Structure 1
Amino acid sequence: MFKVVSTSPTFGKYSQDPITFLQSEGCEVVILSSEISHNEVALGRALKDVDALIVGVEKITSQVLEHVPKLKVIAKHGAGLDNIDLQAAKEKNIAITYAPGANRHAVADLVFGLMLSLAREIPNSSAQVQKGEWPRVIGVEMFGKTLGVIGTGKIGKEVIRRAQGFQMKILAYDLYPDQELSKSGSVTYVPLDELIQQSDFITTHTDLNENSKSMIGRPQLEAMKTTAFLVNTARGGIIDEEALYIALKKGEIAGAALDVFSVEPFIQSPLLELPNFICTPHMAGYTYEALQEVGMITARNVLNTLKGKQPEFSYQ
């Protein structure tokens, strides 16, 4: 019997199917509490006799991996791997799996929800009506505008697909442009500076790494149109939050919506005081459909790796 431990707060929570699947294949499944998952020492102790670890956004450091002699696989319950010390895992011959694109529809849907909310001031308008007011709110249209998409992986492509329904002009930036997407004629790849200067709406869909950290800072925000809107559902840290506050406060851009932040929970920031700022609690990938899919991909990745088979999605 294999022992599988999960630190992800959503694995198996909204659908028991992934846990039932692992159990039916002879696995013991243990869900750790957040108190243990976010305590480096306690987590290391809890993993000493574990064969597989399923993780969400919890930090899996080299110190944690010093205490896992039996661990064969770390399975990300999601796509981003920036919370895992990949080099330390490699040195210990621990396989890394993930579930890229499983939540692509969920994230792309929220991106459009946030862009529409910014363009039409939906949250502020609703709050005013609920207070008994009846304001005249003048918004802007998304139809026919220019959308800048930073990162054209699975999620970026779904955003592009939705944008085509709005007949938007689509500019894209990616370190590794998708040639098929470019040949389709629906997207024009441009340098990042050009995308920032020309776009009416900008949305980010890239991992957090040395190239993307503070990718949008003070210089980029100053270069944006004063009528432009910025959305980030990818990773906190891609946008410099202090620089964003200055830009929004001064009216250098029209508005911004963030679902991810450099520090979470996001409860103390001057951004929260601004009327042209929308925030959501890192919820882009969380729909029942997405959680079912990512859960089952994660479970299959774990089982395949433990049985010596090729997982559906693996890192290196």
Structure 2
Amino acid sequence: MPQVKRLAILDDYQDVTLRLGPWDRLPHLETVVFRDTLAEEDAIAARLAGFDAVLAMRERTPFPASLLAKLPDLKLLITTGERNRGIDAAACAARGITFCGTPSFGAPTVDLTWALILGLARRIPEQQAALRAGQWQTAIGTGLEGKTLGLLGFGKLGRRVAAVGQALGMRVVAWSANLTEDAAAAGGAALVSKEALFRDSDVVSIHYILSERSRGLVGAAELALMKPTALLVNTSRGPIVEQEALLAALHEGRIGGAGIDVYDVEPLPSGHPLLAAPRTLLTPHLGYSTEENYRAYFAGAVEAIEAFERGAPVRVING
């Protein structure tokens, strides 16, 4: 049976992978943890030379066919989670690289979505800053009861976000390219047009998978439809929203604010224009970042290595 000798763990920003996974089950394995992200393909290939297995943290480091061709020693590539659009599954198969996923725990992005919505609506970050500076009640927040929640995308996450909105007394509307009235109603939402969603919603929350069809799905035209008090929240993928159009809307005061967890470039570089944009609540792609989810990821990674060594890989991703 094949045995994994050297494992590279990539992009462990928080230095938690070894602590939160049952790695003691693999005493024969040489494990090297990298806490930074490299952007240049040749630099990544040089770093990973000699490793026969790699654990990738979500889509932090993409693996296109061109990079995979520079990794002749690679036999096992594991991604945290059940899919990873940054890894070329067909190229893995063509090169004889086993590409596996891991389980995850619950839907932690739902928690973060509501943290961003509530933080913006009740102006929590600025009120905390004012309180620490010795000021008391310097602004008035907005209540959500009776307001309209618009969900761009109504899959598993969108429906979970809708349930919280309903519990708060919000009206829920939804749109996606293939959503039907029956499917929307089953999740407690009304199906509306894309234009109506942006025009009528007090909060627009994005829950769309990034693809060539959804890239730039929210641009200047959509933002121009929003109420000047409305909030936009993106916990899906950065390129779904046209960054320049969003920056213009924020600086010109044409929308009430934006809660953003995902970006065109990650990690977000210092000096990025979003960092200085008004009426924003920004988080560093924390949607999946919970201890419970990480424990599921890393236990699944250990299981994937054990299964590969038995000659019976699990959770193989075929594209």
Judge same fold: TM > 0.5, yes or no.
yes
Q: Which residue of 1 aligns with 2:240?
A: 238
Map of 1:82 onto structure 2: 85
Aligned to 1:107: 109
Match of 1:295 in 2: 298
Letter in 2 for 1:138: I
CA contact (8 A) 1:15 1:292 kept: no
In structure 2, relative to structure 1, the CA distance for the partners of 1:183 and 1:306 (3 Å cut) is farther
Secondary structure at 2:114's aligned position in 1? Answer: helix
Call closer, same or farther: CA 1:164–1:69 in 2, change over 3 Å.
same
Aligned with residue 252 of structure 1, among 226, 229, 254? 254
Q: Give the drift of 1:139.
A: 1.6
Which position in structure 1 is the counterpart of 2:149?
147
Query: How far is 1:212 from its partner?
Result: 1.6
Q: What RMSD in Å do the two structures reach over aligned CA positions? A: 2.9
For 1:92, the equivalent position in structure 2 comes to 95
Pairwise CA distance, 1:130: 1.4
Superposition TM-score, scaled by structure 2 size: 0.85
Q: Is the 8 A contact 2:10 2:36 kept in 1?
A: no
Determine whether 1:118 maps to 2:120. Answer: yes
Q: 1:97 to 1:207 in 2, by over 3 A?
A: farther
Query: What is residue 216 of structure 1 aligned with on the other side?
Result: 218
TM-score for the superposition, normalised by structure 1 = 0.85
CA contact (8 A) 1:305 1:311 kept: yes
Cα shift at 1:247:
0.8
Query: Residue type matched to 1:33 in 2?
Result: F
> Contact 1:47/1:67 (CA < 8 Å) preserved in 2?
no
Q: Distance in 2 between matches of 1:32 and 1:15?
A: 8
| Higher alpha-carbon deviation: 252-261 or 293-302 | 293-302
1:284 to partner: Cα distance: 2.2
Aligned residues, how many? 313
**Per the alignment, do residues 126 and 36 of structure 1 end up closer, same or farther by CA in structure 2, a change over 3 Å counting?**
closer
Secondary structure of the corresponding residue to residue 31 of structure 1: strand
Q: Measure, in 2, the Cα distance between the counterparts of 1:185 and 1:236.
A: 25
In structure 2, what residue type is equivalent to 1:260?
V
Stretches of structure 2 lacking an aligned partner (at least 5 in a row): none
Aligned positions of 1:15-164 closer than 5 A:
16=19, 18-20=21-23, 23=26, 28-34=29-35, 38-56=39-57, 57-78=60-81, 81-99=84-102, 102=104, 104-164=106-166
Distance 1:188 1:92 in 2: 46
Between stretches 8-17 and 236-245, larger displacement belongs to 8-17
Cα deviation for residue 234 of structure 1 reads 1.5
1:46 Cα deviation after fit: 4.6
Q: What is the CA–CA distance in structure 1 between the aligned matches of 2:184 and 2:116, rounded to whole Å?
A: 26
Displacement of 1:48: 4.5
**Cα distance between partner residues in 2 of 1:314 and 1:286:** 22
Give the counterpart letter for 2:79 in structure 1: K
Deviation at 1:63, TM superposition (A): 3.2
Label 1:17 to 1:36 Cα distance change in 2 as closer, same or farther (>3 A).
Answer: closer
Residues 1:309 and 2:312 aligned together? yes
Unaligned runs of 5+ in 1: none
- Range 130-139 or range 243-252, more displaced: 130-139
For 2:279, give the aligned amino acid.
N
Displacement of 1:18 after TM fit? Answer: 2.8
Contact 2:83 / 2:317 at 8 angstroms: preserved in 1?
A: no
1:278 maps to 281
